[in-house]
Chains A and B, each alone.
Chain A
Amino acid sequence: MATSHHTGTHELRVEDLCAAYGRGAEPALRGISFSITCGHTMALVGRNGAGKSTLLSVLAGLLRPSGGRVLWNGLPLHNVRHEVAYLPQRSGIDWSFPITVRGVVELGRFPSLGLLRAAGEEDESIVHHALECMQLLALRERPISQLSGGQQQRAFLARALAQQAHVLLLDEPFTGLDISGVHALGDLLKRMAREEGRLVIAACHDTPEEIARVFDCALLLDGGEQLFFGPCAQLPPSPTPHPHASAR
């Protein structure tokens, strides 16, 4: 089955995390620490260049931390990469690539199948269920290029379901969607956390009201440092940019 069916006790713990792009470079993240369990949604907020995408990159294993630890149930997260699904920014994907919605979702089975094993009945059932959950069954033979922005995001979420990942990392998932698309995707993310027990972490640029509607807690970053971690209701406003500071 594509659902994770666990008790929500899986824990992601980040301890004093630091990261930099290259040896000797200025740290892009400093002293980030938080802990969160499955079944929750968490927003990474802050202005451009605050370190949201960098933190997601470290959690996804794309950037090695220069200090601190990222633990998943007490083990280094990098050792269980199949547990993590990463959905990059929309601009990072070639949407004209010739692949159907079903093809995208089937790619989620790669970590389980490896190089040689052919997809079996169980894999097909997992893909079918993922498509069904994301209401994409009717569109499954459609090329990904012919889908709306919201449908494309759902196809990637279905791929994460097919991967049977517990942790979903999303970089600016609401960018480029219209209001109804934003609401639909927000509801979907909440459902994936509350009903299926996944941990959803997303970098956002949205208003505090919209963030509070979808996310349980928020991590506010500025200049690579953690300013706040806690319930969305207590989220302070993002600091205003310094007049001479340049956004990354």
Chain B
Amino acid sequence: MSDFLQFLSEPIAQRSLWACAVIGAADGLMSAFIVLRRSSLQIGALSCALLPGLALSILLFGLNEWSLLLGALAAALLVGLSSLFVARCSVVDADTSLSLIHSAAFALGYLILLSLGLQQKVDDWLFGNILSMSNTDLCVAFSAAAITFILLTLFRRPLLLWLFDPIGAAALGLPTRALSYGAFALIILALVSSLQAVGSFLSLGLLVIPGATLRLLTRRADLMFPGAALLGCSCSVLAFFLSFPLGWHLGATIILLLALAFLLAFLFSRRGK
């Protein structure tokens, strides 16, 4: 216990705790939007697509934080847009094209990273390592969280209208195509900013489970947003305090706690049915 208290007093621990709280809240908020938009499958594919972007940017620009971020961003955009292109220009539907392009991109990225001798880094990017977050990583996470909070709060009304009745929203003159692209950009931002903390595989859980849990607990979409942010934040902070004494991986602990919250909400929602 004394080891843990001593660890808490160190800057790296405080930085990690802040990262848990902020990333958990921002991804939780975003998860409500993703669940209401029914785009969880798309997130799964995009999160895996980050890996080839990382690999190629290391190959081209070397291993530094900004090249990693830009590489991940470029990969997610490239995979997302090319899957849309394939879907529009062929009889293959969007989900199928996204699945095949992301798995091919993932395979390519994995081979490049192995050939560069970055086996340990591969694990970090797949499953995250909050304790290794630098000040720059933290700044990126904070900035992404601020952008997410501001945009989702500011555009709350048109987003709800668009999510519920997209045709009616377009008839009212809402720029639905711009909203669609903006939402895609926000999702990529959330994925990239949480990459260092929970990795590309586990960020999927943080971007889906809080929203799915609140979907079971409330009948009001407007309450899902703050509720999912609170759940994402509290589970991430709780996981921080649990993972050290238990010796568990922090990213995995966050996802397990969120899954437990979902299970409890599921059982609660089934009660009386």
A: residues with CB less than 8 A from B are 60-62, 81-82, 84-88, 92-94, 97-100, 103-104, 107, 110-111, 113, 115-116, 143, 163, 169
Contacts and interface: CB of A to CB of B under 8 A. Distances in A.
Contacts of A163: 172
A92 B167 contact: yes
Given A99-B221, A100-B219, A115-B158, A94 B164 contact: yes
B94 interface: no
Interface of B is mostly: helix
Q: Looking at A61, A98, A103, which has the most chain B CB atoms within 10 Å of its CB?
A: A98
Contact of A99 (B157, B170, B220): B220
Interface in B27-70: 36
B160 A107 contact: yes
Interface in B138-194: 154-155, 157-158, 160-161, 163-165, 167-168, 170-173
A98 B158 contact: no
B221 A61 contact: no
A81 B171 contact: yes
A163 B19 CA distance: 43
A68 to B, nearest CB: 19
23 contacts: A60-B171, A61-B170, A62-B167, A62-B170, A81-B172, A82-B172, A84-B171, A86-B167, A86-B168, A88-B167, A88-B168, A92-B167, A94-B164, A98-B219, A99-B164, A99-B221, A100-B220, A103-B220, A103-B221, A107-B165, A110-B161, A111-B173, A115-B154
B222 interface: yes
A31 B217 CA distance: 52
Contact of B220 (A61, A98, A110, A113): A98
Nearest to B214: A98
Given A99-B164, A99-B220, A107-B165, 13 more contacts: A61-B170, A61-B173, A62-B170, A81-B171, A82-B172, A88-B168, A98-B221, A99-B160, A104-B164, A107-B157, A107-B161, A107-B164, A110-B157
Contacts of B163: 97
Interface of B: 36, 154-155, 157-158, 160-161, 163-165, 167-168, 170-173, 215, 218-222, 224
A130 to B, nearest CB: 15
Interchain residue pairs A-B with the least CB separation, the first 5: A86-B171, A60-B171, A88-B167, A143-B219, A81-B173
A233 B157 CA distance: 44
Contacts of B154: 115-116
Contacts of B215: 98
A86 B219 CA distance: 25
Contacts of B158: 110, 115
Contact of B157 (A88, A92, A100, A115): A115
A116 B150 CA distance: 12
A62 B177 CA distance: 12
Contacts of A103: 160, 220-222
A133 B24 CA distance: 44
B165 to A, nearest CB: 6
B182 to A, nearest CB: 13
Contacts of B161: 107, 110
A82 B169 CA distance: 11
Nearest to B160: A107
B167 to A, nearest CB: 4
A110 B160 CA distance: 10
A19 B209 CA distance: 44
B204 to A, nearest CB: 22
A92 to B, nearest CB: 5
Contacts of B157: 107, 110, 113, 115
B221 A87 contact: no
A23 to B, nearest CB: 16
B212 to A, nearest CB: 12
Contacts of A104: 164
Contacts of B36: 97-98
